Chains A and B, each alone.
Chain A
Amino acid sequence: MKQSEATSLAARKRGKWGYIWPMWTSLLLHLLAILLFTTGFLLTRTELPYHSHCSDVSHSPCFSSNNNGSCWTKPATNRLLIIVLDALRFDFVAPSTFFAESKPWMDKLRVLKNAASTRPLSARIFKAIADPPTTSLQRLKGLTTGGLPTFVDVGNSFGAPAIVEDNFINQLVQNGKKVVMMGDDTWTQLFPHHFERSYPYPSFNVKDLHTVDNGCIEHLLPSLYEEDWDVLIAHFLGVDHAGHIFGVDSTPMIEKLEQYNTILERVIEVLENQSGPGSSHENTMLVVMGDHGQTLNGDHGGGSAEEVETAIFAMSFKKPLSSVPSEFDSCSCQLDLDGKNVCISTMQQLDFAVTVSALLGIPFPYGSIGHINPELYALGADSWNSDASQKLSESDIWMQNYANALCINSWQVKRYVDAYSTSSAVGFSHDDLSRIASVYAQVENHWSHSTKKLLLDRQNDSDTLVPALKRQIDAYFKFLTTVSELARSKWTEFDLNMMGTGIGIMLVSLIFQVFTILRANKKHGVMFSSSGDSCIITGSIFTIFLLGIRACSFLSNSYILEEGKVANFLLSTSGIVTLRQSVIQGKLLKESIGFLILSTLCRFAIEVGLSKQAATSAFMKDYTSWIINIASGLPVWDYAAEVIPMVVLILLAAWLYKATSGSLFDWPWKYVILGTILSYMLIIVHWITDSDRFGGTLMSQNIGRTYIPRIIYAIALGQLLLLTFGQLFKNSSLDCKTILVAKTMAILSAWSSTVILLSGKQGPMVAFASIVGGYFIMKFVNVEGGKDEPHRSFSIMQWSLFATCLFFCSGHWCAFDGLRYGAAFIGFEEFVLVRQAILLAIDTFGFSIILPVFGLPLLVATKYQANLGKHFIFTQLSQMYTTYGLITAITTTFTILCVTIQRRHLMVWGLFAPKFVFDVFNLILTDVLICLASIYYFDQGKDDQELKS
């Protein structure tokens, strides 16, 4: 006993830091671990804000064609028609003879195959290899910038994904070309101000197969006769949506492909008819391409061959080059079903941007790292006959041009690599840079000293020139391949050492936390009689069991998708166990049944949330919820949906008002709670002015929409400040437990108004549910542990599970499309990154982290009827916070292990990485809030000596 008194005295001497330091230590350990792991796992690339300009090319050692009025390269085509067919599998386009087996969806786009076989010199099919992640947005970025997309593009503003980097659409606009777009509205999100005309259609209703396509068709054919565009982009979505809903092997998919076939036939016919000399499409190129492939189930996002392989069909409508230099052909030819020869080449999607730029004669996008594809570039050949004074053949002139284009290409790539490594925090390593530099120097040397002279000297005949050009082109290929390989490894490969170190530190932090908890337990074992050990052990074992199931469930993608349901399953199970306990003890039966009912209600709310996810996410489909069936249609429901939240909010305010009338609350806390009631009233006013139903004429819309939320934020901030500094001046006569309860209530109410406002109409209901659930769990603390034992790990587990359920109940899920961006703009119109990010974080984690963490002391306070002194309560509280932190840390550790194991999984970017980001943010926020809460709760007031006998 003496020893324990000595330790407690020592702890008291150290003051509040004695209680707090374990939390700060684990926060630091977690930060370090996550920083290391993230640098290894989340591949990042800095977006450079630089743009290429026409005049830049004079810095290069190459010939520029400025004199022709063009820019970097000689333009080969004037007009470009790009038809993007979303999720176009390679086997939709290629003849079925290229595959082992003929499937029903093959050979449907016959018009492309026929064109490629009848006119092999001016039309060609390419197998295009995309870089994962194979989602439309990332692919369009990659296609237009010519770079490799990564998971986190630093500098990408959230909510508005407009491309900051240089890209070929931007180059087109810069150089006075007119771009017209129709179809998928992703394009207008990426390029908000670039299009001359645009006909965007919403892309996110997966079940709608026809709106986008019909819109495209409606505008596409008339536009072909118009003269007001240089580049026309038509993006069809039907195949993607048909895949998502019905799969590839289905009638709707085949109907879609047939429909595209007829449209493409008509497009080619129109272009053909107008391709005569002097007509509008004399020098037009048609490109039909997919942005990515899809699996047979219609999924895409990952890196499997089916998703990565898509097709590009290119066709030019002018007299083709008589012969293409065969050295650069990489095609494989085969007879199709009609016995005609079809050739198919392979190219990287990475090369698309630069090749198209070279064809159109505009500067290459600054950050492009692809090379000009010779076969696609050759399709545009022939319009350089102007300087036909030479005695070279057409193909030699083409090769000369191509060598020069590659020279500019290499110079541009080298410029980007240099700029990237100087301006980016995590650039290339020194070795890599010097290797690139030496390869480039070699190539450049060859160019400047031999090839350039040969080219300048017009008297050379092809016998001397052609081999030199070939050697030069090969050297450029070598350089460009080196760079793109390096970039791939840098931007798409994981750093396993970093990840391993991160996991190691994470495990160390877990051991540290467990050790802290055990040490505190031991202290209690001395301080109290160790009665009821078996009960503690069963409780703890059950906690560990539940935690183990929850943590292990993150190792499978299916359980991550259904995380809300899994958490609710466990919550209900824990509720059943509590019911059993309360039956044994014969008390709190009503509460435990109430808790089960509450978790059942949570379950329905989670299902509604999941059905929302199904509407936007590609992974979940065909999920119908009965609530949606009920809730649609009747006007009564609409009305109820408006009124019920307000009624609940008034109830909450009334409850708070009643609470303040007790003697419990002294001046700082009383005013804080009154402030909250005021905020609630303001929220109601805000909703009334915001809604159409009640007529916003009472007040100017502007005041209601922007000023009221701002007032509420200001009140909340003021409350928090009052609470932080109020206690410095307060010398309370109340005992420690009462102060703890009052403080907890005050800070919860201070946060609640902001959280409810941001959560929207569902806010009051979720707040009500969390109050009720929290109340039940508080009651159960007494059932499970008896009176004196330091046993409440089960309650904390329940608390944490309940918090997780609230996250899903309030309509969130662990994906970026699950963020409610609208919440970030409540009260503010314009976008400021930090401010909007804070609001979004409060909305996302308000009910699941902020309120639960600050509410945790209630579990301690209600447990002890007798006042056991400050030291005891604070030790309990600190142990409780450490346990809560440990539970969060363990689940996060398993998520981290899971993404490490599944890093080659095809859903890694679609599912695991977002889950990882959410969990990591969750852990850090929990740790930070625990630290803040500990500073707030453990104050330096004097101990109640008389109670500490």
Chain B
Amino acid sequence: MDRRKSNETTKSSTTSTVELPPPISASEALIVNALCALGLAFAFWIANTVYSIELVTHPSLTLFFIWITELPIVTLLYSRYRQNRKQCTYLRAVGRGVLGVPVGALLNFLGAIAVGAPVTFQYLPKTVNWALMMSVFTTIPASCVLGSSWADWRRIFAQTKPKGSIEYLICLPAHGAVIGAWFGAWPMPLDWERPWQEWPISVSYGTVAGYLVALVASLGFVLACGRSQHIKRE
């Protein structure tokens, strides 16, 4: 039942006048993912060596470094693979990516509150920075590539049915980050009394871990996808 319904929706989305971006090659995907991961590592390195802060001691500042370094990398990289190239210039894709930041952050913020993030004022900057980081990982690539196409957003985020290699690069890391964050909340109630059990430290670690794992996994999917297309073409 469910599958039938989703098939209908995918059909309707393909019939709409969306010009698909050219498929991304495996080496290109590798470069994109490697740059994202390197950006993350760079942010941690900057925070650690230049400012000598850590996620455990200064969570909000470190999270701020992470999202501020990742934001240009992600927007600039993903805007290259935008849909509807004719109507949408590169700059416009970058612009809508930046516009997507507060929207995605708001959604993640509300989601975190619903699931149980603390709401006192002392946690507010941490939660905001965490939500911005989540937004960079989850919604920014999608808003750069897809723009405001509700059908595509629904297909990728609600149904998890990406088509083509670039959509794997959007879909999997976003899901990885969310699922990682969800699992990252588990150790929080334990009575080990470690500083990293505080909100949002363990959750951020979970996010980053989930994101990195999903980056690798998406690479695998891109390879598989490319091979199947290759076979089809032959």
A interface list, Cβ under 8 A from B = 531-532, 534-535, 556-559, 561-562, 565-566, 568-569, 572-573, 575-576, 580-581, 583-585, 596-597, 599-600, 603, 624, 626, 786-787, 789
Contacts and interface: CB of A to CB of B under 8 A. Distances in A.
A584 B6 contact: yes
A556 B190 contact: yes
B185 to A, nearest CB: 7
Contacts of B190: 556, 558-559
Interface in B190-212: 190-191
A921 B78 CA distance: 57
A585 B5 contact: yes
11 contacts: A565-B189, A573-B182, A576-B114, A580-B157, A584-B2, A584-B6, A584-B9, A584-B159, A585-B5, A603-B114, A786-B1
A572 B158 CA distance: 17
Nearest to B190: A558
Contacts of A787: 1
Contacts of A562: 189
B116 A569 contact: yes
A600 B113 contact: yes
B120 interface: yes
A621 to B, nearest CB: 12
B116 A565 contact: yes
Contacts of A583: 154, 157-158
Contacts, number: 64
A575 B114 contact: yes
Contacts of B185: 569
B183 to A, nearest CB: 10
Given A558-B191, A584-B6, A584-B154, A600 B114 contact: yes
Q: Which of B9, B114, B159, B189 has the most CB of A within 10 A?
A: B114
B3 interface: yes
B95 interface: no
B2 A573 contact: no
Given A558-B189, A583-B154, A583-B158, A572 B115 contact: yes
Contacts of B191: 557-558, 561
Contacts of A624: 120
A624 B113 CA distance: 17
Most buried by A among B2, B6, B9, B120: B2
A590 B3 CA distance: 23
B119 interface: yes
B115 A569 contact: yes
Given A559-B189, A569-B115, A626-B119, A532 B3 contact: yes
A246 to B, nearest CB: 15
B114 A596 contact: yes
Contacts of A596: 114
Interface pairs A-B: 3 shortest CB-CB? A532-B1, A786-B1, A583-B158
Contacts of B119: 626
Contact of A584 (B115, B120, B158): B158
A476 B166 CA distance: 87
Contacts of A566: 189
B189 A580 contact: no
B5 A584 contact: yes
B23 interface: no
B155 to A, nearest CB: 9
Nearest to A786: B1
Nearest to A575: B114
B22 interface: no
Given A573-B182, A584-B154, A584-B159, A568 B116 contact: yes
Contacts of A573: 115, 182
Given A584-B6, A599-B114, A626-B120, 11 more contacts: A561-B189, A568-B116, A572-B114, A575-B114, A583-B157, A584-B2, A584-B5, A584-B159, A585-B5, A624-B120, A787-B1
B125 interface: no
- Which one of A569, A584, A624 has the highest number of Cβ atoms from chain B below 10 Å of its Cβ? A584
Contacts of A572: 114-116
Contacts of B115: 569, 572-573, 576
The B contact surface, by secondary structure, is: helix
B189 A576 contact: no
Contacts of B113: 600
Nearest to B121: A626
A535 B1 contact: yes
A230 B50 CA distance: 73
A224 to B, nearest CB: 44
A532 B114 contact: no
Given A565-B189, A569-B185, A584-B159, A786 B2 contact: yes
A545 to B, nearest CB: 12
A49 to B, nearest CB: 42
Nearest to B189: A562
Interface string B150-163: 00001001110000
Contacts of A565: 116, 189
Contacts of B111: 576
Contacts of A603: 114, 116
A528 to B, nearest CB: 12
A532 B116 contact: no
B113 to A, nearest CB: 6
Contacts of B114: 572, 575-576, 596-597, 599-600, 603
A685 B158 CA distance: 50
A575 B189 CA distance: 21
A580 B107 CA distance: 14
A561 B116 CA distance: 15
A789 B157 CA distance: 25
A535 B157 CA distance: 17
Nearest to A788: B1
A575 B113 CA distance: 13
Interface in B87-118: 111, 113-116
Nearest to B153: A583
A395 B86 CA distance: 112
A416 to B, nearest CB: 41
Contacts of B116: 565, 568-569, 572, 603
A248 B61 CA distance: 34
A810 to B, nearest CB: 19
A580 B1 contact: no
A921 B184 CA distance: 33
B189 A531 contact: no
A231 B182 CA distance: 60
A715 B8 CA distance: 55
Nearest to B111: A576
A733 to B, nearest CB: 35
Given A562-B189, A568-B116, A580 B2 contact: no
A535 B3 CA distance: 8
Nearest to A624: B120
A575 B111 CA distance: 10
A534 B3 contact: yes
A585 B99 CA distance: 27
A343 to B, nearest CB: 39
B190 to A, nearest CB: 5
A596 B120 CA distance: 20
A188 to B, nearest CB: 34
A581 B154 CA distance: 10
Contacts of B159: 584
B157 to A, nearest CB: 8
A531 B3 CA distance: 10
A580 B3 contact: no
B177 to A, nearest CB: 14
A598 to B, nearest CB: 10
Interface string B5-20: 1100100000000000
Nearest to A561: B189
Most buried by B among A575, A596, A597, A789: A596
Contact of B1 (A597, A600, A789): A789
Nearest to A596: B114
A144 B5 CA distance: 73
A412 B190 CA distance: 49
Contacts of B182: 573
